[in-house]
Amino acid sequence: MQALLQLLSDPDENIARTIHEELVKLGPRVLPFLLTAQAERPTLTPLLTWVIEEIHFPQLRDTFRQGILQGSLDWEQGAFLIAQLRDPNLNVAHYRNLLDQLAEEFRAKWKLESFSAEDTAQHLAMFLFKDKGFSGNREHYYDPDNSFMHVVIDRRQGIPITLSALYAFVAKRVGLPIVGVGLPGHFIVRIEGITPPAFLDAFNAGVRLSEQDCRKFIEAAGMEFHPNYLHQSPTPAILSRMLRNLLGVYEEIHQETMARRVMALLTSFDA
């Protein structure tokens, strides 16, 4: 195995490619060895990371596809599976615990039992987007990391759909009924059980939107408004949209391997 590692960085591209393919064929059983080598031989880290990702991806693809086909994948589960495109060894439990901690901190700050759903929603927006500093990444909007939930949690920056996801995931933990709404060109959340309907724009600091505000946004973009634009987006539609965002970015920056993996996950919706 050590000899294979040496050849992985062979100056002859054909030899290096062959070794890469052979290591991938060996599959998950060589992952412990590769992870150890990654820590011990920093010069090989980029090459080993490539191999590790290629070994992990088929399992990720199959898990994602099965969840979509069976209808068992919720938004949070799907978002963290997508995050494993970037970090195959992602500690999902750690990031779910961080979401739990945000919810617990929010509960400790406010007496939620005395709040209406809309009051809770607005206080949660203030908590996440003011107190905790989550915000829209306007300067680097097309950075692919904006689409990965763990990076959004770490950096406290994201795009509309991932900031909406963050809001929805914490809201669920505090018992607030929130659903995702995929507008043309934007993504927001809707507070359930409120008449007239009320929406929040997570990318813009959780500002409250009315149905009329949403209509104006759509018409200002040159499109005709349809009431169904404000309906709840099903989980597959949300996950597909997250992946299509990523695909567009990866194609734009010519990251062909990542674009290929994203496309493989997108085929889950064609079955």
Contact assessment for residue 44 and residue 5, using Cβ atoms and an 8 Å cutoff: yes
For residue 269, count other CB atoms closer than 10 A to its CB: 14
Q: How many alpha carbons fall within 13 Å on the CB side of residue 168?
A: 29
Task: Rounding to the nearest 10 degrees, give the CA dihedral for residues 141, 57, 97, 113.
Answer: 70
| Residues 58 and 153 both lie in one domain | no
The number of distinct structural domains making up the chain is: 2
pLDDT interval class at 45 (50, 70, 90): confident
Write the pLDDT tens digit of every residue in 66-122: 999 999 999 999 999 999 999 988 999 999 999 999 999 999 998 888 889 999 999
| Residues 7 and 120 both lie in one domain | no
| Residues 255 and 135 both lie in one domain | yes
| Residues 125 and 147 both lie in one domain | yes
Domain that includes residue 52, residue range: 2-72
Kindly write down the DSSP assignment for every residue of 9-23, as one continuous string. T-SSHHHHHHHHHHH
Of residues 131, 155, 168, 133, the one with CA closest to residue 242: 168
| Residues 125 and 249 both lie in one domain | yes
pLDDT interval class at 271 (50, 70, 90): low
Domain edge (last residue) among 24, 41, 72: 72
Domain edge (last residue) among 20, 54, 72: 72
In the predicted structure, residue 248 carries a pLDDT above the cut 80: yes
Write the pLDDT tens digit of every residue in 186-215: 999 999 988 889 999 999 999 999 999 999
pLDDT interval class at 219 (50, 70, 90): very high
| Residues 59 and 86 both lie in one domain | no
Hey, which residues does 178 pair with through a beta bridge?
191
**Residue type (1 letter), 170:** V
| Residues 250 and 192 both lie in one domain | yes
| Residues 60 and 89 both lie in one domain | no
Q: How many alpha carbons fall within 13 Å on the CB side of residue 38?
A: 16
The more confidently predicted of residues 88 and 233 is 233
Domain edge (last residue) among 17, 39, 72: 72
